[in-house]
Amino acid sequence: MLNITDLQQEEKVFPLFRLGFRPLFLFGGLFAVVAIGFWTLFLQGVVTGFSQRDPFWWHAHEMLFGFTTAIIVGFLLTAVQNWTGIPGLKSTRLMLLFALWLSARVLLFMGTTVPIAWTMSIDLLFLPLAAYFLARPIIRIKQYRNLIFVPILLLMTLTNAASYLPGLGFAPTWQQQSFYGMVLLTIVLISLLGGRVIPFFTANGTGQPKVAPWLWLEVVCALTLVCVFVLYFSGWAATFRLLPALLFLAAVAQFIRWFRWRPWVTINIPLLWSLHLAYSFVPVGLLLLGLSTVSAHVSQSAALHALNTGAIGGMILAMMARVSLGHTGRKLVVSKGIAVAFGAVLLAGLVRSILVAGAPQFVSLWWQISGGLWCIGFALFVVRYWPILTRPRLDGRPG
C-alpha cells in the first residue's frame, strides 16, 4: 500500500502518464484507426505518396512494430506492478518511452528527409528500453518466472531490425521473414498470456471452477509455436518438409486448449467472449497457414491476417478494455458500444481471412469491409476510453 507521500507525488503527474497502459493504449488505439484508415484509402487509390518506405512495407511494419508493440509494452509495464508490488513506470520516464514510440511513427509516416538509419535507430530503442524498465522490478524481488517477457521483447527488437535490412542493401527475403516472424512471435506471447489469464478471468467472471491446464497440452502448444516462429523467421520454412504437419499439430493443440476453456459459458459477458473468440483465431490461423503450404487456393496472406487481425487485434482490444477499467478503479463491465467494437474487430478478422480465402475474386471488397470494421472497432474504443485514460482513478489510488 502506498503512503500519503506517494499519493501527493502521484497528484503532481498528469493522469495520462501515471501508468504505462494509459498513453500506449490510448494512442496505440488511435494509431490503429489512422494506420488502417490510410491503408484502406491507399488501396482504393484515394491517397498516395506517404511514408519513407514502400507503402506495403509501411503497412505491415507499423501494424506489427507500431501498433502491436505499443499495446504489448503498455500491458506488460502495467502488469509488472501487480506482479511485483513495486510502483510502475510513470511520469518523466514514461513520457520518454512514449516519445520514442511516437517519434518513430511520425517519421515513418511523414516521409521526411531524415535518413532512414536515424529513424530506424529511434524505432529500435523503444522495445529494449521497455524491456529494461520491465526487468528492473522483476529482478529486484527475484521474481524470475516473469523474466520470460524480457527476451520476448528483445526478440521482437531483432525481428524489427531485420525488417529494415533490405532497405540497407541486405537480402530482400529479410522483409518477409521479419514480418512473418513478428506475427508468430506475438502469437507465442498471446498463447503464453492467454493460458494464464483466460481461464482465470472466465472462472472469476462466471463463478465456475477454473479449468486446470494439462501439462502435456501446454508443452505441445508452446513447442509447436516456438518451432513455427523459428522456421519462418530463419527462412527455413520453405524447405522444411514437415511444416504442414507441424502447423496442423499446432492448430489442433490450440483448438483443444481453447475448447477446454469452455467459451460457451461466456456468451453473456462481453469482456469474456471477446477474449475467447479472439483466441479462437489462433487455431484457425494456424490451420489456414498449414493449408497454404499444401494448396494454392489458400493464400498465406489470408492465414497471417487471421492471426494478425483476428487473434492479435481481437485480443488487444479485449485486453485494453479490461485492463483500462480495472486499473482506473472501475467495474469490469463494458458499454454496448464497446461490445459492438469487439464484434466489429472480430468480424474484420473473419472477413480478412476466411472470406478472402473462400472467395478471393472479391478480395478488394473484403479489404474495404475489413478495414472499415477495424476502424469502427478501435474508434469506438478511443472515444469511450479517452476520458477514462486521461483522468485520475475513480478510487483515488495511484495508477
* Residue 39 within a domain: yes
Distances (CA, A) of 177 to 62, 119, 134, 144: 16, 21, 27, 30
* Residue 140 within a domain: yes
pLDDT on residue 179: 97
Global pTM?
0.95
Rounded mean pLDDT of 205-233? 96
* Residue 139 within a domain: yes
pLDDT on residue 4: 42
Contacts of 259 (CB under 8 A, 6+ apart): none
pLDDT on residue 121: 93
How many domains, in total, are found in the chain?
1
Q: Tell me the Cα Rg of the chain.
A: 20
* Residue 34 within a domain: yes
* Residue 322 within a domain: yes
Distances (CA, A) of 304 to 198, 289, 310: 23, 7, 9
CA atoms within 13 A on the CB side of 307: 30
Three-class SS state of 88: coil
pLDDT on residue 52: 59
pLDDT on residue 6: 64
* Residue 315 within a domain: yes
In order, the DSSP letters of 135-186 are HHHHHHTT-GGGGGHHHHHHHHHHHHHHHHGGGGTS-THHHHHHHHHHHHHH
Average pLDDT, the chain: 93
Give 48's pLDDT tier (boundaries 50, 70, 90): confident
CATH code of the domain containing 52: 1.20.210.10
* Residue 395 within a domain: no
Contacts of 186 (CB under 8 A, 6+ apart): 64, 68, 72, 156, 312
* Residue 37 within a domain: yes
Grid cell 464484434 in the structure block, residue: 343
- H helical segments located in 207-313: 215-234, 243-260, 270-292, 300-305
pLDDT digit string, tens, across residues 377-387: 999 999 999 99
User: In the predicted model, is pLDDT for residue 67 greater than 90?
Assistant: yes
Query: Whole-angstrom Cα distance, residue 372 to residue 149?
Result: 33
User: Cα–Cα–Cα angle for 293, 296, 299, nearest 5°?
Assistant: 75
pLDDT on residue 13: 86
Rounded mean pLDDT of 366-386? 97
Query: Whole-angstrom Cα distance, residue 346 to residue 172?
Result: 32
pLDDT on residue 331: 94
Structural domain for 36, as ranges: 4-389
pLDDT on residue 10: 73
Which amino acid would we find at residue 64? L
* % of the chain surpassing 70 pLDDT: 96
Rounded mean pLDDT of 188-199? 96
For 151-174, b/e burial (b = at least 16 CB within 10 A) is ebbebbbebbbbbbbbbeeeeeeb
Contacts of 8 (CB under 8 A, 6+ apart): none
Residue 140: exposed, middle, or buried by beta-carbon count in 10 A (0-12, 13-18, 19+)? exposed
pLDDT on residue 50: 64
Query: Whole-angstrom Cα distance, residue 14 to residue 225?
Result: 41
